[in-house]
Amino acid sequence: MNKGTENKKEIQVSAEEIARQYQYMESIKEANAEYEIKSGRKRLVYLQSFGCQMNENDSERLWGMLSEMGYGEGKNSEESDMVIFNTCCVRENAEEKVYGHLGALKKQKVDNQEKIIAICGCMMQQGHVVETIKKKYRHVDIVFGTHNLYKFPELLNRAINSDSSVIDVDESPGSIAEGLPIERKDSIKAWVTVMYGCNNFCSYCIVPYVRGRERSRSTDDIVKEVQELGRNNFMEITLLGQNVNSYGKDFADRVSFADLLKEINSVEGIERIRFMTSHPKDLTEDIILAFRDLDKVCEHLHLPIQAGSSRILQDMNRKYSKEDYINLIGKIKEKVPGIALTTDIIVGYPGETEEDFEETLDVLRKVRFDFAYTFLYSRRTGTPAAKSADQVSEDVKKSRFEKLLEVQNKISKEINDTLLGRTEEVLVEGLSKNSIWNYTGRTRTNKIVNFKGSKELVGKLVKVKVTGTQTWSLEGEVISW
């Protein structure tokens, strides 16, 4: 079969290169084993992720390599021999947090010169950030980006054997590395990256500059990974990519995202399939029909609208109007009744007037999303929107944000209320943080349900009758499993 592999020779990291990284892992593993015998304890790593699911999935790859090298997990930076920050740069506050944490590590490095401090992820793909780290955070030992994550064992080996910082950021349009180990944080639900990068260049967004061009993993590699998850009793997978609907567009042999969903739907063991993120301009009819026709594809779609005003959408380079989006939602609701819809919205985009903002509220009321992830516009150096002289003040942004939440929360609660008394299939995830309802899980529509349960239900699909509703969650009673 070997689909979707023809045009990837230049971007696929070679098997020899991956084998070389395994050799570095082996040599560090030996050193760590020696240390463990001498000191009676494993070397520990504290790894903190600051970003989205793609970033978390990258951290799982880092953990795979770290475990292979014999490192254990530290609870905090103080007790750990190595600290890694996997960073995000989508919004400014994530960046600021990282600088704060890095600054705080300086004293630990002075007290313990042996401690290794590594920083990686999206932030490192920006030249100005690397310059700042070189100048102001000289206690950092390793800097690497998203494109060369697979090289971590080699860079670590260099850092261990040298006194100077190791800085290696790959500025190519990106690569695909297969065959690296992975250690997943969850044993019921798993993320599977299906494509990397983004070609859309929305005017506010830094992602295309730091994650490179769109490149899809081969269907065979993805299916193999999902099969392995099925054999290991994972129940649910979420296919990840900045723009999953574009899957396969870079292949000479044109596999579509709907084709990929079909293949994955037939993998044994996996019971639920989700995916994110979709772009309205690329959400084709065959993907909509996948929700209806493929039994494992769950009835939840995350479809970022970003703004309701067609003028702002055009300035954002989103390539659809308010009307296009509303019509698309109409079509989805018609084909897949009961589907849950979530979205991303940015408030305070440069030049957004009160009228523009009213258009966003109008879309919320018309579409009736189950949930909206709302963000204050954040000015990202290097993006076209950052150059606009027409920036909206922080106060105005905040007050619009509050108004948006108020409108959306009311809708979320009203939608949840319609579920009262209904029986839903719930995948039980584990203990709940809620003290009254001790267990928690999610419906196919991705709603959190808290209920009274027991340990043996974890990882199972159970039927839960909805007995109560909150704005962001449901309460229920297990009726069968």
Q: Which of 120, 205, 303, 449 binds ligand 5AD (CB under 6 A)?
A: 205
Footprint on residues 231-260 left by ligand SF4 (CB under 6 A): 242-243
**Using rule CB under 6 A, residue 200 touches ligand SF4:** yes
Tokens 């903190």 sit at which residue?
Answer: 48
The binding track of 342-371 with respect to ligand 5AD, each residue x by CB under 6 A or -, is --x-x-------------------------
380 in contact with ligand 5AD (CB under 6 A): yes
Considering only residues 277 to 336 of the shown chain, the ones binding ligand 5AD according to CB under 6 A are: 304, 306
Task: State the binding string over 274-313 for ligand SF4 (x if CB under 6 A, else -).
Answer: -----x----------------------------------
Nearest to 36 by CA among 73, 70, 84: 70
Give the one entry of ligand 5AD, ligand SF4, none that residue 200 binds, where binding means its C-beta sits below a cut-off of 5 to 8 angstroms depending on kind. ligand SF4
Stretch that binds ligand 5AD, among 191-199, 283-291, 375-383, 437-445 (CB under 6 A): 375-383
What are φ and ψ of residue 342, in 5° steps?
-125, 165
Q: Pick one of ligand 5AD, ligand SF4, none as the site partner of residue 198 (Cβ within 5 to 8 A by kind).
A: ligand SF4
Q: Residue 322 binds what, of ligand 5AD, ligand SF4, none (CB under 5 to 8 Å, by partner type)?
A: none
* Residue 91 contacts which entry, ligand 5AD, ligand SF4, none (Cβ below 5-8 A, type-dependent): ligand 5AD
202 binds ligand SF4 (CB under 6 A): yes
**Residue 435: count of CB within 10 angstroms of its CB:** 6
Interface with ligand SF4 includes 105 (CB under 6 A)? no
Q: 171 burial class (0-12, 13-18, 19+ CB within 10 angstroms)? A: exposed
Given candidates 91, 184, 215, 272, which one binds ligand 5AD under the rule CB under 6 A?
91
**Out of 152, 234, 369, 377, which residue is the one contacting ligand 5AD (CB under 6 A)?**
377
Q: Does 208 bind ligand SF4 (CB under 6 A)?
A: yes
What is the token pair recorded at 227? Answer: 């099969």
Binding-site partner at residue 446 among ligand 5AD, ligand SF4, none, CB < 5 to 8 Å by type: none
Number of chain residues interacting with ligand SF4 (CB under 6 A):
10
- Residues lying near ligand SF4 in the complex (CB under 6 A): 198, 200-202, 205, 207-208, 242-243, 279
**Residues in the site for ligand 5AD, rule: CB under 6 A?**
90-91, 204-205, 304, 306, 344, 346, 375, 377-378, 380
